[in-house]
Amino acid sequence: MDGGSGLNILYVDTLDAMCLPWSKLHPAGSPFHDVISGAQAYPLWQIDLPVMFGNRDNFCSEVLTFEVVDFLGSYHAILGRPCYAKFMAIPNYTYLKLKMLGPNGVIPVGSALSHAFTCDHEHFELTTVVINSIELS
């Protein structure tokens, strides 16, 4: 979850791990900023994928457009404001929860605090490596 991001991002490694056919990719839009610290990033392609939250009894499903990028990230994908808008979801960063309305009530989506801490730590290490390599250049 990244409420500051105006994009839904999917990494090439994730795309390959999902065994999605590359024929579903279409040309990307314009470059974006602040995903890689201090540098412009260029998406390689875009892909439209169905995304579902919930369970068999209470779920919500929408098709989201992801920018496919070929650089390292500490996540599999990033869900930004376009996702929240499409699902009419409300993020709560204090409790690491995302809530949206399903046909049979509220659908909560969350993660363990320990998992979030591990991801943040990996992201910090990755960012440090990227910034150091840019400064050395």
Radius of gyration of the CA atoms of the chain, in A: 16
Residues 86-133: tens digit of each pLDDT: 999 988 877 778 899 999 999 998 877 776 677 777 767 776 776 777
- Burial code of 2-14, b = ≥16 C-beta within 10 A, e = fewer? beebebbbbbeeb
Q: How far is CA 90 from the centre of its chain?
A: 16
Summarize pLDDT for 10-26 with one digit per residue, the tens: 989 899 999 988 899 99
Name, of 65-69, 92-96, 133-137, the range with top average pLDDT.
Answer: 65-69
Q: CB of 60 within 8 A of CB of 101?
A: yes
